[in-house]
A and B are shown apart, each in its own frame.
Chain A
Amino acid sequence: MIALARGIGIRLVLAIGLLLAVVIVVFSLIQIAPGDAATYLGIQQGTGDPEFLAQVRADYGLDRPMLVQLMAYIGNVAQLDLGQSTYFNEPVLGLILDRLFATMLLAGTALVFAVVVGVAIGVFTARRPESPASHGVTVISLLGFSTPVFWSGLMFILVFAAKWGILPVGGIEDVRYNGNWFGETVDLLEHLVLPAISLGIIYLAIYSRLARASMLEVLESDYIRTARAKGAHERVVVYKHALRNAVIPVVTAAGLQVGNLLSGALLVEFVFAWPGIGRLAVSSIFRSDSPTLLGIMIFSAAMVIVANLLTDLVYRLIDPRIRVGGSR
């Protein structure tokens, strides 16, 4: 138990160090890029007057040594201050938090959909390794992996929303349900279906294949043969003994792919006008709103780091072979 606590402690320290490194990378990128906040404001005001630029630099502390600026930047991030949006004129963190729920809902639903359905397909096909369905998983998996998520999203809109009219085209809510609790929830879920499936389908493709491979491997192992030899029912062997070990690679992959998931969510949010963090990032580029874009960068990195920590924890819980410090 103490070993476990120490293991988690070390992980936490490393995680904080990692976030610090991300902040330094983002800060360096700002320095490398041509122009600074002063030239940007100058362009906005329509002036290149050196006196004005010098005044702005003094006001924002841009004339201080680089290291001092970096320390100030780190200090701000440590106090959860990601700066002020130049477009909204509001704190960036608030803008992100306003949209966090939408992104988490989309990414979370897609991930759960992919893991649950992927494992189900994997287990089903692993029990019939020579069936056409089993070979189909390989091809469908490669197909899912090669399909641009924004294209499948647009095609879903075309078929399900425009042609058949059974699901909304985009957005997250319909104003006509305002105030009706039940109606609002159903409406939200209806809006969620297409984006979540577009995003989840890539990972479904990956996880079904992964689950099948790991299930096939587990089913060949000695302890499964033992379980069968002692006369355990096939269903118990597969779902109780084998499944538990077979899902470990899938859960690990899912946890470690949160960064990719956020990248995919960015495109899906753009296509479906889903009011999340990703869409804010894309709009910020077109608004030249660098504090918001960089704030989102740091915030997402923090989300990925937390997700990796949680994966590590879950991993230790479901796989008793991997307990830190040999605490057995």
Chain B
Amino acid sequence: MTDLGIAIEPTETGGRGALRMFLRNKPAVLGLIVFAFIVLVTIFGPGLYATSAKKMVAPPFLGPGDDLGPLLGTDYLGRDILAGILTGGRTTLLVAAVAAAFTLTIGLVVGSLAGYFGGWIDTLLMRFTEIFQVMPSLLFALVVIFLLGPGTWNETLAIGLTLWPLAARLTRAEFLRLREMEYVKASRAIGCSDLRIMFRTILPNAMPPLLVSATLTVVIAILFHAGLAFLGLVDVNTVSWGSMMGKNRAYTLTAWWMVFFPGTAIVITGLSISLIGDGLQDAFNPKLRGR
């Protein structure tokens, strides 16, 4: 009865308010600092450290701190683990970023069309999305790589093709919710084109949850790429955190550092991105804080 059809938005959820909320959230700021550090290290680290990740630089099986060897030890072929982590981070982050961008693009297109137009377009697109949801994602990625052959582009494609349904569903839900808003009806009334309403009116308002889900997608893409590389299904000539673990797996019990450090790099990276996502979530939606 009291619903006047007006969305009452808390004033603090706007752009600047959200930024202030985010900066007040200590874990999120910590996540941002750590992630920025990791990105800088993977960009400049390999150049500054100057030890090749692929060359034998010291005796194999040197532990961290052994006999003034490399800081994090060497692997079974005497390659520097630290150099591998620096170089490998570049591959891992790059593949994850491109795959996540790819995922979000497909998700955005499918989800916005389904949510905005509704009706049979929605039904058709959602049934199509469902096909990709019932195929276990890692298995589907394996099949894609098996059929197309390994290689960085095929990996990225495989990850993107398997992860988009999540983004599509979320985008659709947001568009479904927002298209009934007063301001959307107003733009329609003054004769804006569908495309303009979708991308200029609705999309900016749908951004907050999509941004949170983007951070989630990046974490999943990192884990996915690591999993594929661990199984040895990627280009054997590229060093990545996952491939380092896969190649050194057999020596886990005798030389823990070979697998421990690359894995730790993934955990720290993933955690820092997750903290950022969590901070964004709290900033955009203060009611759900701490849940």
Which residues of chain A have a CB within 8 Å of any CB of chain B? 17-18, 21-22, 25-26, 29-30, 32-34, 129, 134-135, 138-139, 142-143, 145-151, 154-155, 157-158, 162, 169, 209, 212-213, 216, 259-260, 262-264, 266-267, 270-271, 278, 281-282, 285, 290, 293-294, 296-297, 300-301, 304-305, 308
Contacts and interface: CB of A to CB of B under 8 A. Distances in A.
- Which of A148, A285, A301 neighbours the largest number of chain B CB atoms within 10 Å of its CB? A148
Nearest to B246: A150
A interface: dominant SS:
helix
A22 B127 CA distance: 11
Given A154-B259, A297-B139, A25 B249 contact: no
B271 interface: yes
- Which of A21, A158, A259 neighbours the largest number of chain B CB atoms within 10 Å of its CB? A259
Interface in B100-135: 127, 130-131, 133-135
The 10 closest A-B pairs by CB, nearest first: A146-B270, A263-B138, A33-B147, A151-B263, A213-B291, A142-B274, A262-B136, A304-B134, A162-B253, A259-B136
B281 to A, nearest CB: 11
A271 to B, nearest CB: 8
Contacts of B77: none
B99 to A, nearest CB: 15
Contact of A154 (B131, B245, B273, B274): B245
B267 interface: yes
Contacts of B138: 263-264, 266-267
B227 to A, nearest CB: 6
Nearest to A282: B231
14 contacts: A22-B135, A142-B274, A146-B267, A146-B269, A148-B266, A154-B245, A154-B252, A155-B260, A259-B133, A263-B138, A267-B230, A294-B143, A300-B135, A304-B135
Contacts of A305: 134
Interface of B: 27, 127, 130-131, 133-140, 142-149, 219, 223, 226-227, 230-231, 233, 242, 245, 249, 252-253, 256, 259-260, 263, 266-267, 269-271, 273-275, 278, 288, 290-291
B interface: dominant SS:
helix
B266 A259 contact: no
Nearest to B245: A151
